């Protein structure tokens, strides 16, 4: 009985280790939570600061996949609203929004608080979002959004 239990335990450890190695991801951890980050995120490689801001500020609502939470938080992946006006996206990250929005035909009414304090951080996170999850949104230039007033 002990021999069978020991063999089963060894099998479980080897299987678990193999699974973890084959499905490796980096883990960002802080005192509050851990977030799994896929190793193959080209947008994160191109816009690392934006990816870090997204994972710290946006992932709770818009999710790691960018698909949001239906009925509550809009998707950023393949979002017609986002792609229609990228300067508006920077403004909403800087100042938040209390207005209902319609994304891909669905209306969202939950207010979005501001997420960053600087134009540089807003551009970084929006450039990440514009290019993550298969989005092909190009980039926003800092000089094109410097005129956005930060309102608190």
For 69, list phi and psi in degrees, rounded to 5: -125, 110
pLDDT for 5-42, tens place per residue? 444 444 444 544 434 444 444 444 444 444 555 567 99
* Domains (range + CATH), the chain: 25-145 (1.10.760.10)
Does the reported pTM lie above 0.85? Answer: no
CA dihedral 129, 117, 97, 130 (to 10 degrees): -10
H or E element that contains 31 = none
Q: Are 104 and 133 in contact (CB under 8 A)?
A: no
pLDDT for 41-82, tens place per residue? 999 999 999 999 999 999 999 999 999 999 999 999 999 999
């Amino acid at each position: 009985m002990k021999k069978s239990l020991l063999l089963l335990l060894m099998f479980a450890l080897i299987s678990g280790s193999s699974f973890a190695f084959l499905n490796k991801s980096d883990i960002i951890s802080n005192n509050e939570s851990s977030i799994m980050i896929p190793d193959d995120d080209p947008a994160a490689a191109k816009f690392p600061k934006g990816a870090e801001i997204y994972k710290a500020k946006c992932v709770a609502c818009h999710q790691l996949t960018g698909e949001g939470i239906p009925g509550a938080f809009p998707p950023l992946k393949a979002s017609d609203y986002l792609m229609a006006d990228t300067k508006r996206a920077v403004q909403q990250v800087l100042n938040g929004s209390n207005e209902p929005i319609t994304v891909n035909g669905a209306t969202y009414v939950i207010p979005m608080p501001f997420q960053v304090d600087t134009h540089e951080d807003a551009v970084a996170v929006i450039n990440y979002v514009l290019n993550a999850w298969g989005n092909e949104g190009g980039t926003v230039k800092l000089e094109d959004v410097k005129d956005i007033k930060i309102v608190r």
